[in-house]
Amino acid sequence: MALVLNSFNFYSPPLILPLPPMGTPRSPKFSMTSTLFSNTKAAEKSLGHPPEFNVNKSYPMQLKKVEIFKSMEHWAKNNVLTILKPVEECWQPQDFLPNLTSDGFIEQERARDIPDEYFVALVGDMITEEALPTYQTRINSTKIFHDETGVDYTPWAIWTRAWSAEENRHGDLLNKYLFLSGRVDMKQIEKTTQYLIRSGTVRYATILILRKDLGFGDDPYHMALVLNSFNFYSPPSKRATFISHGNTAKLAMQHGDVKLAQICGIIASDEKRHETAYTKIAEKLFELDPNEMVIAFADMMKRKISMPAHLMYDGHDHNLFDHFAIVASRIGVYTARDYREIVELLVAKWKVEKLTGLTSEGREAQDYVCRLAQRISRLEERAIANAQKAPIIPFSWISGRVV
């Protein structure tokens, strides 16, 4: 491996030199408002790994769960891989972008009347998509989805690579549109993306979620649920990203940019298709092992898992994700109402209320999950109102203008 990293072969990876300790390139309050990180003192000290936790250490899963995933491989070939599209049938970013060599090329006119707050929400979506490399890394680090050679032919490895390849187009397309719009500060956006990936994103945040002391270990059931996660802009939170991109499409149309509406709409359609796959996986696990899945479901929701987008930082704003989320809620891109509706949808989809044969712990978890949407609804209007009343602040992404 050391020789490969220093390889002279044509198109081999570049020479990799050791990085100095990261120190603290941002505020020590690195968790921002994350409820997970606020309870993890070591994580608040810096972006380095907590001293008591070795990220290279793996924790054993229950053998039963490994066997269940192995037994699902044939099912996955017929029910998950079929959701993927051949490359030649996939849209590409250039399908929605102008020809820069054409006469009279003007792209900025269409974006002229779109408000700044919309661009803040769009940039936040784009940055989350651009952190894709670490999402695949985190998924691939689990024993179930592990792609040992990088070209494994297990259905789980094939899915992860192909899903990542499809997702890669989203950030590319949004990035190019934002550049051509002339309405944003691309350097600040690029810095934010680099900070997000450098800070560890999924590798750091999700590993903390799956820590042994939280009782998760390398549990594939928790991973399956995280992939269907309800948390705002969690990496592969397919339902949330489908809603977010769908709403940005509607708003773009209202502001008169038909092409941007098409861009956000086509990305939303991808997210919807991917959501179908992850929801099916969780649905199958509920069928095969309902007790452990409902316990994992309740455990995840009780811990209020905060995902890697919370680590957004632009070199200036130590609470950037929170401020971005407030703007997104204020203009209706993603709100507490959407969160509650996702909970209701998946509880119904997975028929959680009808699960039988549960242990006492399983029944307790079932009761908690089935009542969760009702609890959220009591806080919903307050959360939406708070976003509307939040003070306006400057965003470096839009050259310091306030929204």
Classify each residue of 336-351 as buried b or exposed e, where b means 16 or more C-beta atoms within 10 Å of its C-beta.
bbbbbbbbeebbeebe
Separation of alpha carbons 261 and 246, rounded Å: 9
Nearest to 84 by CA among 92, 93, 76: 76
Classify each residue of 123-136 as buried b or exposed e, where b means 16 or more C-beta atoms within 10 Å of its C-beta.
bbbbbbbbbbebbb
Bridge partner list, 394: 402
Bridge partner list, 402: 394
Classify each residue of 291-318 as buried b or exposed e, where b means 16 or more C-beta atoms within 10 Å of its C-beta.
bbbbbbbbbbbebebbbbbbbbbbeebb
Phi, psi of 396 (to 5 degrees): -65, -25
Determine whether 183 is exposed, middle or buried from the number of CB atoms within 10 Å of its CB (0-12, 13-18, 19+).
buried
- Give yes or no for a contact between 163 and 135, defined as CB atoms under 8 angstroms apart: no
Phi, psi of 183 (to 5 degrees): -105, -5
Check residue 50 and report its DSSP letter. P
**Cα atoms found within 13 Å of the Cα of residue 4, Cβ hemisphere only:** 1
Separation of alpha carbons 244 and 36, rounded Å: 23
- Give yes or no for a contact between 221 and 350, defined as CB atoms under 8 angstroms apart: no
Dihedral angle, C-alpha 213, 302, 239, 211, nearest 10 °? 0
**Annotated binding-site residue? 170:** yes
Separation of alpha carbons 20 and 387, rounded Å: 40
Strand, coil or helix: 384 = helix
**Annotated binding-site residue? 67:** no
Feature table: binding site for Fe cation: 129, 167, 170, 271, 274
Q: Residues within the annotated binding site?
A: 129, 167, 170, 271, 274
